[in-house]
C-alpha cells in the first residue's frame, strides 16, 4: 500500500506511467536527476542495496507503508528488498535541526557520510528514533538506507529546523542581493531582493538611512514581509538614501543587511520646518525677536506689519549673505506703538516654510534685568560691606545708565514689609573676575543682626527681583560678657583652666592668664596656652611648687573686644599648685664661666645646651652628668651611661612625656668622680587640650 504521492524522475528518457496517484520512471537504469529538495530513491531487490537498482525515481517525502507485499511501483520480492534515498540541498545558515526516523525493519540515516541514526535490525514492530543536531551552513547531503527482511514493511523519515528562540541562536543568511527602482515623479522607491534559502524563514524587513548617517530605520513596519519586494515613500528632501534588506527566522534571529546596499538620490520637494518659539522682548527700548532653529533651514526671513493681519514687509537683514541668525533687533518701529512680526525659513532648494505665529512688541521696555548674584556681606567694626557679581560687563546698561539698589531689614530673615534702602556709593572691586560691585553700609545699628538683598535697575527704571538674601551680625565695640563657671585644676604640668562660654554670639576666641604675687604686692602675669581639642580649656604651664596663683579668662569677639585683665568684671579664680618638688635638697653651686641654655617650659623634649671656656676649672672637667628626680625611688638618677663628653654642648631628655613636671641636676664631674659644679634645673612639658 502507498501512502503519499511520488514525483517522476526528470530523465528525458523516462516513460511516465500513472498508477494509483503514483508517478514512476522506467527503465531503472536510465539517468535520473531530482531537483533539490526532492529525494532520489533507488530500489533494490536485495538487502545489501548493491547492483543495479530496479527503479530510480524522485520523492517529495519519505513516508511508505508497503504492508506485507513488495512496492507497487516496481517488481521486487515480497521480503528482503531495500531502498536508498539521497538528498542534497542548501541549508542556508544551518543551525539546530531535528531528524525523525521510524521503520520496520531497518533504517540508517547519514549526514555528509557521518551516521546519525542506526536502527539496523529485523523487528516485528515499528522502531523509532529522534536526534537533535546542528547542521553547518551551506550545502549538505542526507542519505537514508532502508531494508525489510520479513513481515510487514514501512518507513518514514523527516528533518526540520528547531525554531525555539531558546535553542536557535543562529542568524539567518542575508538576502543575496537587493536593488531599487525609484520613481522620481511620485517619490516612491520599489525595493527588490533575492529569496533567502533558510528553511525556517519567517520573512523580511526593509531598512533605510540617509547616506550621511549610520543609523538605520525600519521602514517596512513591524509586520514581516513575505514577498520579495516593497514600495517605500522615500522622503523628498534632496538627500541620498541607502536601503538594505534583512531576513528574520522563526526564532526571531535577524540577518545582517544585504551585501550590497542600493542608494536613491531624491529631489528636494520638502519645505523646512516652521520656525517656533518666536518671542519679542522690549529690553533696551528695542523690539528684540528670537526664535528656535527650524529643521533643514539654511536662512530666515523676518517680516513686519502695523496690523496683525498685514500687509507684511520683509525687514532688511543686518548681515551679509543669507540671514542665519535666530534673533533680530528692530529699533525702527515707533516707540509705544505695537508692531507685528512673523518669521519663515528657507532650505537649500529655496523652499519656504509656513509662517510662524504672529507676535508683537511696542519698544516700551518693561522687562526687568536679572537679579544680582553671589551677594556677600562682611561686617567691620563701624560698617558693613555688601558685594555682588556684576550682571554682564561693567559697562552694560545697569552699571552706567541704570544702577543697583541695596535693601536692609532687621533680623535674621529678609522681611519684604520692613525694608530700608541703604544709602551708599557703589564702586567696582579692583581686579575682581567676574566683576564685583561693593556698597558700604555705615548707617546700620551696631551689635545686631541685619539681612541684606540687592536689585538691579535698568535705564528706564525696571527693577529686578530681590537677590538671594544674606544675613550678618553688625560690628560693635562692646566686650563679650565674662565666661561662666571658671575652674582651675592643679596638675603635674601646671594648672588646667576650664569654663563655659558667655551668651554672646560673636565670640571667636579666649585669652587666659596666671598671676603670681610678687614681694612688692603686685602680680606677675603670664599667659596660658591653648591646644587643639577643646576651645573651652587652656593649660597654664608652671613647675608645680605649691605656689598660690590667681587665674583669669576673658572672651574675645571678632572685633577684638575683650574684658581688661585689670577690670572688675573679668572672670577670676584662685588655686594652689601641686607641690612636686624633690625631697632631697640640692645645692646649686654652678659658677663656671660660659653659657647655659635651658628649656624651662617646653613644647617638646626638655633640652640643655652649655659651653665652658674658663681655663682652670674647665681643665678639671672629665665629663658631665644629667640626672632626673625619680619620685618612686626618691633619688636623682642619671639619664645616660657614663659621662657626657667634656667637649659636648647639648643634651635632650628623650624619655620625657607631655603632661608631667621634671626636676634635674646637671653636674660637671672630675676624673675621680668628684663634682666641680652643680646646677639644679626644673621644667614642665604641658599636655595641651
Range of the domain at 399: 373-473
pLDDT of residue 11: 35
Closest to 237 (Cα-Cα) out of 201, 211, 203: 211
pLDDT-based confidence at residue 397 (cuts at 50, 70, 90): low
Q: Which of 421, 450, 473 is the last residue of a domain?
A: 473
Question: Structural domain tally of the chain?
Answer: 6
Q: What is the phi/psi pair of residue 336, to 5°?
A: 85, 0
3-state secondary structure of 235: coil
Q: Which of 196, 230, 265 is the last residue of a domain?
A: 265
> Checking phi first, is residue 20 left (phi over 0); if not, alpha (psi -120 to 50) or beta?
left
Task: Examine the domain organization and report whether 488 and 455 are in the same domain.
Answer: no
Task: Examine the domain organization and report whether 378 and 457 are in the same domain.
Answer: yes
pLDDT of residue 19: 31
pLDDT of residue 155: 96
397: domain CATH number is 2.60.40.10
Instruction: Convert the pLDDT of each residue in 162-185 to its tens digit.
Output: 999 999 999 999 998 999 999 988
The residue assigned the cell 636623682 is 636
CA gap 174, 195 in Å, rounded: 10
pLDDT-based confidence at residue 80 (cuts at 50, 70, 90): very high
pLDDT of residue 18: 29
pLDDT of residue 470: 97
Overall average pLDDT of the 504-528 stretch:
93
CA gap 437, 386 in Å, rounded: 8
pLDDT of residue 367: 79
pLDDT-based confidence at residue 396 (cuts at 50, 70, 90): low
How many Å separate Cα 7 from the centre of its chain?
68
Specify if 479 maps to a domain. Answer: no
Task: Examine the domain organization and report whether 391 and 307 are in the same domain.
Answer: no
Task: Examine the domain organization and report whether 67 and 189 are in the same domain.
Answer: no
Task: Examine the domain organization and report whether 70 and 149 are in the same domain.
Answer: yes
Inter-CA distances, 14 with 45, 62, 84, 112, 261, Å: 21, 22, 20, 29, 46
Task: Examine the domain organization and report whether 540 and 426 are in the same domain.
Answer: no
CB–CB of 304/312 below 8 Å?
Answer: yes
Q: Is the pLDDT score of 13 beyond 80?
A: no
**Can you list the pairs that 523-531 forms with residues at least 24 positions away whose Cβ atoms lie under 8 Å?**
523/550, 525/565, 528/497, 529/686, 529/688, 530/688, 531/688, 531/689
pLDDT of residue 26: 41
Task: Examine the domain organization and report whether 151 and 210 are in the same domain.
Answer: no
pLDDT of residue 224: 96
pLDDT of residue 4: 40
**Bridge partners (DSSP) listed for residue 228:** none
pLDDT-based confidence at residue 17 (cuts at 50, 70, 90): very low
pLDDT of residue 1: 38
3-state secondary structure of 213: coil
Task: Examine the domain organization and report whether 33 and 114 are in the same domain.
Answer: yes
pLDDT-based confidence at residue 282 (cuts at 50, 70, 90): confident
Q: Is the pLDDT score of 318 beyond 90?
A: no
pLDDT of residue 623: 94
Specify if 172 maps to a domain. Answer: no
365 or 229: which leads in pLDDT:
229
Closest to 22 (Cα-Cα) out of 71, 70, 75: 71
Closest to 51 (Cα-Cα) out of 85, 86, 81: 81
- Compute how many other C-beta atoms are within 10 angstroms of the C-beta atom of residue 677: 17
Residues in the chain: 689
Instruction: Convert the pLDDT of each residue in 405-438 to its tens digit.
Output: 999 999 999 999 999 999 988 888 888 888 899 9
148: domain CATH number is 2.60.120.260
Overall average pLDDT of the 478-502 stretch:
97
CA gap 523, 518 in Å, rounded: 6
Specify if 135 maps to a domain. Answer: yes
pLDDT-based confidence at residue 21 (cuts at 50, 70, 90): very low
Specify if 173 maps to a domain. Answer: no
Inter-CA distances, 49 with 72, 110, 623, Å: 18, 15, 123
pLDDT of residue 72: 78
Q: Is the pLDDT score of 353 beyond 90?
A: yes
Cell numbers linked to 594:
660660659
3-state secondary structure of 180: strand
CB–CB of 619/679 below 8 Å?
Answer: no
Overall average pLDDT of the 112-131 stretch:
96
CA gap 666, 662 in Å, rounded: 13
Q: Is the pLDDT score of 278 beyond 80?
A: yes
Cell numbers linked to 29:
537504469
Q: Is the pLDDT score of 573 beyond 70?
A: yes
Inter-CA distances, 166 with 96, 131, 162, 170, 172, Å: 11, 18, 10, 11, 15
End-to-end CA distance of the chain: 112
CA gap 31, 424 in Å, rounded: 116
pLDDT-based confidence at residue 459 (cuts at 50, 70, 90): confident
DSSP state at residue 172: P
Q: Across the chain, what does the average pLDDT equal?
A: 90
pLDDT of residue 71: 81
Task: Examine the domain organization and report whether 525 and 664 are in the same domain.
Answer: no
CA gap 28, 42 in Å, rounded: 9
pLDDT-based confidence at residue 394 (cuts at 50, 70, 90): very low
Buried b / exposed e along 419-435 (16+ C-beta atoms within 10 A): beebebeeeeeeeeeeb
CA gap 600, 619 in Å, rounded: 28
Specify if 582 maps to a domain. Answer: no
Overall average pLDDT of the 38-46 stretch:
96
Q: Which of 415, 447, 473 is the last residue of a domain?
A: 473
pLDDT of residue 392: 63
Instruction: Convert the pLDDT of each residue in 204-216 to its tens digit.
Output: 999 999 999 999 9
Q: Is the pLDDT score of 31 beyond 90?
A: no
Q: Is the pLDDT score of 274 beyond 70?
A: yes
Among 166-180, 322-336, 552-566, where is mean pLDDT lowest? 322-336
**Bridge partners (DSSP) listed for residue 636:** 629
pLDDT of residue 668: 94
Task: Examine the domain organization and report whether 464 and 491 are in the same domain.
Answer: no
Q: Is the pLDDT score of 223 beyond 70?
A: yes
pLDDT of residue 41: 96
Cell numbers linked to 326:
535666530
Question: Is the pTM for the entire model greater than 0.85?
Answer: no
Task: Examine the domain organization and report whether 153 and 81 are in the same domain.
Answer: yes
Q: Is the pLDDT score of 7 beyond 60?
A: no
Specify if 452 maps to a domain. Answer: yes
Q: Is the pLDDT score of 139 beyond 80?
A: yes
Instruction: Convert the pLDDT of each residue in 589-609 to its tens digit.
Output: 998 878 889 999 988 899 999
pLDDT of residue 427: 85
Task: Examine the domain organization and report whether 153 and 204 are in the same domain.
Answer: no
Buried b / exposed e along 462-488 (16+ C-beta atoms within 10 A): bbbebbebbebbbbbeebbbbbeebeb
CB–CB of 28/53 below 8 Å?
Answer: yes
Specify if 493 maps to a domain. Answer: yes
**Bridge partners (DSSP) listed for residue 677:** 668
Overall average pLDDT of the 106-130 stretch:
96
Specify if 347 maps to a domain. Answer: yes
Q: Is the pLDDT score of 10 beyond 60?
A: no
pLDDT-based confidence at residue 237 (cuts at 50, 70, 90): confident
CA gap 413, 410 in Å, rounded: 8
pLDDT of residue 381: 85
Q: Is the pLDDT score of 230 beyond 60?
A: yes
Amino acid at each position: 500500500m502507498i501512502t503519499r504521492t511520488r514525483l517522476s524522475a526528470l530523465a528525458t528518457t523516462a516513460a511516465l506511467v500513472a498508477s494509483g496517484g503514483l508517478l514512476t520512471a522506467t527503465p531503472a537504469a536510465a539517468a535520473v536527476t531530482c531537483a533539490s529538495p526532492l529525494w532520489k530513491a533507488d530500489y533494490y531487490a536485495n538487502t545489501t542495496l548493491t547492483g543495479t537498482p530496479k527503479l530510480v525515481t524522485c520523492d517529495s517525502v519519505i513516508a511508505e507503508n508497503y504492508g506485507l507485499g513488495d512496492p507497487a511501483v516496481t517488481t521486487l520480492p515480497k521480503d528482503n528488498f531495500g531502498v536508498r534515498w539521497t538528498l542534497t540541498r542548501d541549508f542556508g545558515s544551518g543551525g539546530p535541526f531535528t531528524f525523525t526516523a521510524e521503520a520496520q525493519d531497518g533504517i540508517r540515516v547519514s549526514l555528509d557520510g557521518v551516521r546519525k541514526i542506526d536502527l539496523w535490525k529485523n523487528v516485528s514492530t515499528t522502531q523509532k528514533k529522534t536526534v537533535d543536531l546542528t547542521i553547518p551552513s551551506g550545502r549538505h547531503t542526507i542519505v537514508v538506507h532502508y531494508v525489510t527482511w520479513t513481515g510487514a514493511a514501512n518507513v518514514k523519515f523527516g528533518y526540520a529546523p528547531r525554531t525555539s528562540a531558546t535553542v536557535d541562536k543562529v542568524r539567518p543568511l542575508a538576502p543575496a542581493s537587493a536593488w531599487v527602482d525609484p520613481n522620481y515623479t511620485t517619490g516612491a522607491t520599489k525595493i527588490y531582493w533575492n529569496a533567502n534559502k533558510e528553511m525556517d524563514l519567517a520573512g523580511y524587513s526593509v531598512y533605510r538611512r540617509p547616506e550621511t548617517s549610520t543609523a538605520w530605520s525600519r521602514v517596512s513596519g513591524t509586520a514581516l514581509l513575505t514577498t520579495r519586494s516593497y514600495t517605500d515613500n522615500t522622503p523628498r528632501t534632496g538627500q541620498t538614501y541607502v536601503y538594505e534588506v534583512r531576513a528574520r527566522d522563526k526564532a526571531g534571529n535577524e540577518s545582517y543587511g544585504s551585501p550590497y546596499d542600493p542608494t536613491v538620490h531624491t529631489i528636494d520637494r520638502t519645505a523646512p520646518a516652521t520656525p517656533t518659539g518666536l518671542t519679542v522682548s522690549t529690553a533696551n527700548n528695542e523690539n528684540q525677536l528670537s526664535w528656535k532653529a527650524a529643521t533643514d533651514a539654511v536662512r530666515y526671513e523676518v517680516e513686519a506689519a502695523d496690523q496683525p493681519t498685514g500687509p507684511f514687509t520683509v525687514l532688511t537683514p543686518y548681515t551679509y549673505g543669507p540671514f542665519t541668525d535666530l534673533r533680530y533687533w528692530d529699533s525702527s518701529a515707533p516707540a509705544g506703538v505695537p508692531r507685528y512680526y512673523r518669521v519663515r525659513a528657507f532650505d537649500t532648494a529655496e523652499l519656504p516654510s509656513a509662517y510662524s505665529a504672529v507676535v508683537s512688541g511696542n519698544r516700551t521696555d518693561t522687562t526687568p534685568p536679572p537679579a544680582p548674584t553671589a551677594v556677600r556681606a562682611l561686617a567691620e567694626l563701624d560698617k558693613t560691606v555688601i558685594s555682588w557679581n556684576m550682571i554682564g560687563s561693567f559697562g552694560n546698561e545697569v552699571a552706567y545708565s541704570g544702577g543697583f539698589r541695596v535693601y536692609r531689614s532687621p533680623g535674621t530673615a529678609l522681611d519684604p514689609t520692613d525694608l530700608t534702602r541703604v544709602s551708599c556709593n557703589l564702586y567696582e572691586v579692583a581686579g575682581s573676575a567676574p566683576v564685583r560691585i561693593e556698597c558700604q553700609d555705615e548707617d546700620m545699628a551696631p551689635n545686631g543682626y541685619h539681612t541684606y538683598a540687592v536689585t538691579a535697575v535698568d535705564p528706564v527704571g525696571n527693577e529686578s527681583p530681590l537677590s538671594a538674601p544674606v544675613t550678618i551680625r553688625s560690628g560693635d565695640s562692646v566686650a563679650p560678657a565674662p565666661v561662666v563657671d571658671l575652674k582651675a585644676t592643679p596638675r603635674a604640668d601646671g594648672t588646667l583652666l576650664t569654663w563655659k562660654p558667655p551668651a554672646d554670639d560673636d565670640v571667636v576666641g579666649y585669652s587666659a592668664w596666671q598671676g603670681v604675687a610678687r614681694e612688692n604686692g603686685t602680680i606677675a602675669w603670664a599667659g596660658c596656652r591653648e591646644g587643639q581639642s577643646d576651645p573651652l580649656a587652656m593649660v597654664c604651664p608652671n613647675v608645680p611648687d605649691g605656689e598660690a596663683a590667681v587665674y583669669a579668662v576673658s572672651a574675645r569677639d571678632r572685633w577684638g573686644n575683650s574684658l581688661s585683665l585689670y577690670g572688675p568684671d573679668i572672670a577670676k579664680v584662685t588655686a594652689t599648685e601641686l607641690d612636686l618638688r624633690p625631697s632631697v635638697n640640692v645645692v646649686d653651686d654652678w659658677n663656671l664661666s660660659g653659657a647655659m641654655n635651658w628649656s624651662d617650659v617646653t613644647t617638646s623634649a626638655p633640652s640643655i645646651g652649655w659651653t665652658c671656656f674658663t681655663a682652670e676649672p674647665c681643665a678639671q672637667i672629665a665629663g658631665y652628668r644629667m640626672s632626673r628626680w625619680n619620685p618612686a625611688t626618691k633619688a636623682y638618677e642619671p639619664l645616660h651611661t657614663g659621662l657626657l663628653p667634656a667637649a659636648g654642648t647639648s643634651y635632650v631628655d628623650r624619655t620625657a612625656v607631655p603632661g608631667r613636671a621634671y626636676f634635674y641636676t646637671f653636674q660637671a664631674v672630675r676624673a675621680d668622680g668628684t663634682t666641680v659644679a652643680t646646677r639644679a634645673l626644673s621644667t614642665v612639658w604641658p599636655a595641651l587640650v
